[in-house]
Structure 1
Amino acid sequence: MIHTSPRLPENATFSAKIDAGDYWLHRIEAGQTLRIIDCEGNQAADTLFFNADDLSERYSMSDTIMGQKNVFLSTGSVLRSNEGKAMLTIVADTCGRHDTLGGACSTESNTVRYSLERRHMHACRDSWMLAIAENPHYGLSKKDITHNLNFFMNVPVTAEGGLTFADGLSAAGKYIEMTAEMNILVLISNCPQLNNPCSGYNPTPIDVIIWS
């Protein structure tokens, strides 16, 4: 559901730009609001959420879908953990649809979906592994890379129950905004995928803004 936000960027307490293919790893306190902005349009932001105080609790695709009885995410969706608890609530969304089924690109999926020659094209899972290696103080490891969300990504479900990658519904300046219901650790890979339409075959930057 399309719903704009009353929050103004000039009142934010934090902002950053994430270039295509880069990662962003950051702690957000309960009650803070995070906005992710699709700067140039049709860009996928592959995102993992963790309970910052207990990393064994993390975003769960199945609990979220079961709780809201909808496979797509937008305003009003409550993002739930593997313990069934509310982690974040989407409070504004100017795109209207976000994916939690398609997963993240990897060197393995590049090989299976496209060709062996494309195996080593940069992938979101590589970005997450780099984030973990460069930030050991957060305590994350490879086993923590599980369910993720793909903000701004369009993955229609076919009548037979399959998934297809389609052109995005987003555009330059579209955003999604979430309020944290607990202390959250956010790990974003700004998708570098060149082989399908999830980033418009031309990965571009995203912005992140936080309000206290």
Structure 2
Amino acid sequence: MKHELPADAAWSVPVRAGRAITLTALADNANASVLIVGADRLDRLNIPDTLKSQMTARIHVGLVLMSDRGLALATVTESTLDWHDCLTGFLPSHLLLLELAKHGLGAADLHGGINFFTKVAVSSAAALSLVPGHATAGDSVTLRADQDLLVFVSTSAHPWATTPAGGVAVQIGTAEPGDPEGLRPEALRALELVR
């Protein structure tokens, strides 16, 4: 299945465990704000725990995206970019709220998400700044669903962007089996809990 979202649009899709979710930038300056919720509504993406347990401040290949119960939701398996933002949130939220409502969810379910294709650098003084021109048309990132999921995507511009965002294609396909080589113990435990 493939769905193309123009700029300033939103879409949601259920994804079965073991499937691949590939996001592809259709134009320069794309931004895909993504929320991930377990299909059973018990698990949702927990950015602080994901970052802290794997000692990073960015989303990159090999990172296991964890829920607030410590379970693996999805694993980043491929990316043409080495940095995706998860520190700065997303705007406007009304697009995601409309998609959440389609699945019986609401404002209380808006939680930390990921801005794929966007890089926000952290300076030595702990200041954050948007890196312009980080993504170009054709850049892509692939996640493997580690449990049944609801995935919500908005193509609104990053809140700090000064240029309009480009569209994004979302493709759901078959995922390759995961390779646990090099994963931190916390990530391995999160994956084992959903097998």
Q: TM-score range by the shorter chain?
A: 0.7 to 0.9
Q: What are the superposed Cα offsets for residues 64-120 of structure 1, whole Å, 9 maximum, x if unpaired?
A: 101210111111011111111111011100122101101112xxxxxxxxxxxxxxx
User: Is 1:126 aligned with 2:98?
Assistant: no
- 71, 79, 88: which one aligns with 2:74: 88
Q: Secondary structure at the match of 2:52?
A: helix
Q: What are the superposed Cα offsets for residues 125-168 of structure 1, whole Å, 9 maximum, x if unpaired?
A: 011122234x1xx2211100011111011111121222222214
Q: Secondary structure at the match of 1:42?
A: coil
Q: Is contact 2:31–2:166 with CA below 8 Å preserved after alignment?
A: no
Relative to structure 1, is the Cα distance of residues 71 and 168 closer, same or farther in structure 2, using a 3 angstrom cutoff? Answer: farther
**Larger mean Cα displacement after TM superposition, 162-171 or 152-161:** 162-171
Q: Distance in 1 between matches of 2:100 and 2:105?
A: 6
Q: Is contact 1:64–1:80 with CA below 8 Å preserved after alignment?
A: yes
Q: Distance in 1 between matches of 2:111 and 2:143?
A: 20
- 26, 48, 55: which one aligns with 1:62: 48
Q: Distance in 1 between matches of 2:105 and 2:157?
A: 22
Q: Distance in 1 between matches of 2:135 and 2:83?
A: 9
- 202, 206, 212: which one aligns with 2:164: 202
Q: What are the superposed Cα offsets for residues 4-46 of structure 1, whole Å, 9 maximum, x if unpaired?
A: xxxxxxxxxx001011111011000000000000111221111
Q: Which runs of 5+ in 1 are unaligned?
A: 1-13, 106-122
Q: Secondary structure at the match of 1:129?
A: helix
Matched to 1:19, the amino acid is P
Tell me the equivalent position of 2:181. Answer: none
Tell me the equivalent position of 2:14. Answer: 27
Q: Secondary structure at the match of 1:185?
A: strand
Q: What are the superposed Cα offsets for residues 45-72 of structure 1, whole Å, 9 maximum, x if unpaired?
A: 111000011x131001111101210111
Q: Secondary structure at the match of 2:42?
A: strand
Q: Secondary structure at the match of 1:156?
A: strand
Matched to 2:172, the amino acid is I
Tell me the equivalent position of 1:149. Answer: 114
Q: Secondary structure at the match of 2:121?
A: coil
After TM superposition, what 4+ stretches of structure 1 lie above 6 angstroms from structure 2?
A: none
Q: Is contact 1:37–1:173 with CA below 8 Å preserved after alignment?
A: yes
- 47, 51, 64: which one aligns with 1:78: 64
Matched to 1:164, the amino acid is S
Tell me the equivalent position of 2:188. Answer: none
Q: Distance in 2 between matches of 1:39 and 1:67?
A: 33
- 40, 45, 54: which one aligns with 2:27: 40
Query: Over the residues paired in the alignment, what is the CA RMSD in angstroms?
Result: 1.4
Matched to 2:11, the amino acid is W
Tell me the equivalent position of 1:183. Answer: 148
More helix by proportion, 1 or 2?
Answer: 1
State, as a whole percentage, how many aligned pairs show the same letter: 26
Q: Distance in 2 between matches of 1:61 and 1:80?
A: 8
Matched to 1:143, the amino acid is A
Q: TM-score, normalised by structure 1?
A: 0.78
Q: Distance in 2 between matches of 1:62 and 1:151?
A: 17
